[in-house]
Amino acid sequence: MMDLDERNVSGCGLSSMMNKKRVKVDGQAITKSMRNLRERGNGLGAGFAAYGIYPDRKDYFAFHLMYDSKDAKKNTEDYINNYFHISSKEPIPTRRTESIIDPPVFWRYFVLPQEKFLPTDGDSEEDFVIKKVMHINTGIEGAFVVSSGRDMGVFKGIGYPEDISEFFKIEEYKAHTWIGHSRFPTNTPGWWGGAHPFTILDWAVVHNGEISSYGINKRYLKMHGYNCTMQTDSEVVAYLFDLLIRRHRIPLEYVSDILASPFWKNIDLEEEDQRQIRTALRMVYGSALVNGPFAVIIGHNGGLMGLSDRVKLRPMVAARDGDWLYISSEEEGIREISPSVQNVWHPRAGELVVGELEKN
């Protein structure tokens, strides 16, 4: 029996799968993969993100909410009604599970911002949504936005991956991209909102490691309107990807140069053009540099990515099998769902693994 108070700083299990042609599979495969990585967790948190699960409502922002009380639900719904058109709302289906004790209440809302509130100062519809999500998480007691992207959703909580999968009936959802996490908390408490994945809009991040630059990253993100509220260092990664790629439009090939920047001694050895670019990125985005041991998998509506720190102090394995891309913390997490896969590799330290979905 594993001691729940034990700390294992190299723990956390990560697994993911993406079909570039948008072929969908149900949640049994990712659950099977995560069950195989069970020893990397200790029951204090697990979760899944799924993409393509709401095709009939794909134009709406899908808000997944957890509530601790009836007042929290009423206050949140009043707030959402004030700023959004609600196309539909419903409880997120769950089942009684022996290992899940006293869970929060989960609802989902399919919404669009009311046009009269949309910003005219250059901000986008997505920026408006972020501000409202941040307000709910910081200003309404007992309410928490689990995810807020289009045509995707996050299902997470306290338990092992198979417990969370059973509780949320993951096998009933079909998605073209899945990411999963089994958490072994290091410096942060285990609570329902603090389980992985961490999200903003359609960005969902699972993380193994410890971000020692959390304080700097948190202050930098606050300057850009992101409030860290989840009591964990991993949260900053989701916001950094949104800031760099969606808002600042940084090309993917340079994202790793910001988040997992090469050492100065290596930048100095580059050809002049590349040296100038990487020097400029390091100077402009120095506060976005993520320090400490980490391996992250990032899901979004365009595909799947994986990135490890510049020394690769946390494991990451990738594989391709036809139209499928897999990224995991261990090869066995991949072979559990694709036993005969041949194209397996260990990404280099700081290398961004990218899988892109084909256009519809």
Tens of pLDDT along 324-336? Answer: 999 999 999 999 9
Catalytic residue flag (residue 12) = yes
Above 80 in pLDDT, residue 123?
Answer: no
Write down the pLDDT at residue 187: 57
Taking CA 284 as the corner, what is the angle to CA 278 and CA 290, rounded to the nearest 5 degrees?
A: 80
Above 90 in pLDDT, residue 145?
Answer: yes
Identify which has the larger pLDDT, 356 or 270: 356
* 20-24: long-range contacts, CB 8 A cutoff, minimum separation 24: 20/303, 20/323, 20/324, 20/325, 20/355, 20/356, 20/357, 20/358, 21/323, 21/358, 22/52, 22/176, 22/357, 22/358, 22/360, 23/176, 23/323, 24/52, 24/174, 24/175, 24/176
Mean predicted confidence (pLDDT) in 191-198: 83
Question: For the chain, what's the residue count?
Answer: 360
CA distance 287 to 259: 9
Q: Which one of the listed residues 12, 145, 152, 337 is annotated catalytic?
A: 12
Q: Give the tokens for residue 55.
A: 């095709």
Mean predicted confidence (pLDDT) in 135-148: 95
Return the number of other C-beta atoms located less than 10 Å from residue 218's C-beta.
18
Write down the pLDDT at residue 1: 38
305: helix, strand or coil: strand
Beta strands in 20-125 (DSSP E): 25-26, 46-51, 61-67, 84-91, 105-113
Write down the pLDDT at residue 2: 41
Above 90 in pLDDT, residue 209?
Answer: no
Q: Band of the pLDDT at 5, cuts 50, 70, 90?
A: very low
pLDDT for 17-29, tens place per residue? Answer: 999 999 999 999 9
Secondary structure element (H or E) that encloses residue 163, with its range: helix 161-168
CA distance 245 to 239: 10
Q: Give the tokens for residue 282.
A: 């390091």
Above 70 in pLDDT, residue 181?
Answer: yes
By the 8 A CB rule, do 133 and 235 touch?
no
CA distance 341 to 343: 6
- Calculate the average pLDDT of the chain: 90
Of the candidate ranges 51-65, 184-198, 216-230, 281-295, the one whose mean pLDDT is the lowest = 184-198
Mean predicted confidence (pLDDT) in 330-344: 93
Mean predicted confidence (pLDDT) in 235-260: 93
Q: Band of the pLDDT at 289, cuts 50, 70, 90?
A: very high
Above 70 in pLDDT, residue 235?
Answer: yes
Beta strands in the chain (DSSP E): 13-19, 25-26, 46-51, 61-67, 84-91, 105-113, 143-147, 152-157, 174-175, 177-182, 198-200, 203-209, 294-300, 303-308, 317-321, 324-328, 343-345, 353-356
Mean predicted confidence (pLDDT) in 105-109: 97
Of the candidate ranges 114-123, 197-206, 212-221, the one whose mean pLDDT is the lowest = 114-123
CATH architecture of the region 13-356: 4-Layer Sandwich (3.60)
Of the candidate ranges 89-93, 224-228, 321-325, the one whose mean pLDDT is the lowest = 224-228
Q: Measure CA 269 to chain center.
A: 34
Q: Measure CA 276 to chain center.
A: 32
Mean predicted confidence (pLDDT) in 296-320: 94
Above 80 in pLDDT, residue 43?
Answer: no
Secondary structure element (H or E) that encloses residue 1, with its range: none
The share of the chain scoring above pLDDT 70, in percent, equals 95
Torsion, Cα 142 145 146 148, to 10 degrees, reads 170
22: helix, strand or coil: coil
Q: Measure CA 290 to chain center.
A: 16
By the 8 A CB rule, do 186 and 42 touch?
no
Above 50 in pLDDT, residue 176?
Answer: yes
pTM above 0.85, yes or no: yes
Torsion, Cα 270 276 281 287, to 10 degrees, reads 80
- 288, with CB counted inside 10 A (0-12, 13-18, 19+), is buried
Beta strand 343-345 with 353-356: parallel, antiparallel or unpaired?
unpaired
Write down the pLDDT at residue 192: 79
Above 90 in pLDDT, residue 268?
Answer: no
Kindly list the distances between the CA atom of residue 156 and the CA atoms of 31, 223, 335, in Å, as whole numbers in the listed order: 13, 29, 24
CA distance 298 to 154: 13
Write down the pLDDT at residue 127: 92
Write down the pLDDT at residue 185: 54
Write down the pLDDT at residue 352: 93
Beta strands in 198-284 (DSSP E): 198-200, 203-209
Q: Give the tokens for residue 347.
A: 């990404």
Q: Band of the pLDDT at 64, cuts 50, 70, 90?
A: very high
Write down the pLDDT at residue 89: 97
